[in-house]
Amino acid sequence: MPRAVYVLAAGIFALVTGEFVVAGLMPQMAEGLGVTVPEIGYLITAFAVAMAVGGPLLTVAVLRMRQKQALILLFAVSLTGTVMAAAAPGYGVMLPARVISGVASQAFFGVALSICAQLTRPEVRGRAMAVAMNGLMLGTLLGMPLATLIGERLGWRAAFWTIAALTVAAALCTLAGVPRLTRSEGGGSVREELGAFRNPKLWLTLSTSTFIIGATFAAFSYFNPILTEVTGFAHGTVPLLLIGYGAATVVGNSVVGRLADRHTVGVQVAGLALNLLFLAGFALFAHLTVPAVVCMLGIGLVGVTMNPAMATRVQRTGNARPLVNTVHSSFITLGVTIGSWVGGMVIGPFGLRAPLWLGAALALIGLATLVPALLADRPARNGHLAQNAELATESVHA
C-alpha cells in the first residue's frame, strides 16, 4: 500500500476530529458562549448542511488545481475555521467558523479519495479506501474522546487549538508524503466532472449509500439514552461501550476493505441484511443487557464500515474524480441527517426503541435499491458459469 494512502488517512482523522468536537463539548461551549445547549446543537446541523451543500461547490472551485495543491488549500480553509472557532468571542463568530470548516471537510474527502484511487491499482482500490477511511473510524474511536477529554480538562477552546495543531501536522505530512498529481483521473473540467451524473445508475448507487448510513445513524445517534434508559446501564459505562463500538467499526472497516474489490455489491447486501437483523434485534431486546451489547457491536461491524464498498461501487459506476467522491460524501451526510433527525422525531410518539425500528426500515429500503444491481449481475454470472462448463466439456472430450 503506498505510504501516501496512510498520510491521507491522517488528514481525514484530523478533519473528522474537528467535525465531532462540538458533540462532545456541548455544555461547556454553551456556558462559554453564553447560549443554550440547543443553540450549540445547531452548530452541528450547520456543519452538516455546509458539508452537503458547500462541499461540492468548493470541490468545483478547486478542480483546475493540482490535487496536492487542492489538499493544502483545503487544509488552510479548515484551519481558518478551526482557529476562528478557538478564538470566537461569541456565537456570531462560532457559527460561520463551523460552516467554513464543514465546507472544507467535505471537499477534502472528495479530493483525498480521488488521490487514493489514482495512487492504487483498480483491483486493490477497495483496500486502499479502507485504509484511508480508517481515519474516519479512528476519529470516532480516538479523536472525539481525546478532544472531549482536553476540553473538559483545559477548556473547550483548548480542544479547538489542539485540532488546529493536528490540522497543521497533517498538512505538513501531506506536503512531504503525497506525490504531485494531475488535476484528476481522466479529465478535470467542470463539464467532464458533471457528465458522470447523467448516468441514472449513479444516482441509485448514491441512494444506497444514503440508506446504509441513515440506518446506522438512526441508531447511533441515540445509543446513549437507549443504553441508559432502556437497557439500564450507568452513565459512566456508556463511554466504554461506545469505545467498544468504535473498535468494532475499525475491525469491520478492515474486513470490508479486503472484500470490497471482488464482491462490491455482495458486501453491501450482506452488510445491510446483517444490519437489519442487528437493528431489529436491538429494538426487540434492548431491555436485556447482553443482547443489547451484542447488537450494538454488530451495528458497529456492518454499519459505517460499508464505506470502502460504497466508495468502490460509486467510483466504478461514475468515476474516481473529486466531484463524484464529494457528492457521494454529501449523500452520506444526507443519510446522517435523515437517520438522526427522523430518529429524534419518532421518539416522542413511539419511545426510545423507535429509532432502532426506523434504522431497520432504512436498511430494508437500502436492500431494495441493490436489487437492480443483483439482477444485472445475474446474466454475467450465468454466462461465466456456462463458459466454464463448456470449457470443461471440451476438456473431457479432448
Residue 276 C-alpha cell reads as 437489519
Given a contact cutoff of 8 angstroms between Cβ atoms, the answer to whether 43 and 21 are in contact is no
The predicted structure's pLDDT at residue 378: 65
List, in order, residues 6 or more apart from 237 with CB less than 8 Å away: 227
The predicted structure's pLDDT at residue 90: 95
The predicted structure's pLDDT at residue 389: 46
Helix (H) or strand (E) holding 373: helix 371-397
Given a contact cutoff of 8 angstroms between Cβ atoms, the answer to whether 152 and 44 are in contact is no
User: CB neighbours (10 Å) of residue 134?
Assistant: 24
Domains 1-183 and 196-398 agree in fold: yes
> What is the domain partition of the chain in residue ranges?
1-183, 196-398
CATH number of 196-398, picked from 1.10.3720.10, 3.30.200.20, 3.40.50.720, 1.20.1250.20: 1.20.1250.20
The CA distance from 206 to 304, in Å, is 15
The CA distance from 232 to 332, in Å, is 32
CATH class, 1-183 region: mainly alpha
Partner residues linked to 187 by β-bridges: 184
The predicted structure's pLDDT at residue 269: 97
**Which three-class secondary structure state does DSSP give residue 236?**
coil
The predicted structure's pLDDT at residue 379: 58
Let me know the angle formed at the C-alpha of 117 by 111 and 122, rounded to the nearest 5 degrees.
165
The predicted structure's pLDDT at residue 186: 43
Let me know the angle formed at the C-alpha of 97 by 96 and 99, rounded to the nearest 5 degrees.
60
- Helix/strand/coil (H, E, C) string of 270-299? HHHHHHHHHHHHHHHHCCCHHHHHHHHHHH
Using 70 as the pLDDT threshold, list the residues of the chain that sit under it. Answer: 182-189, 378-398
The predicted structure's pLDDT at residue 157: 96
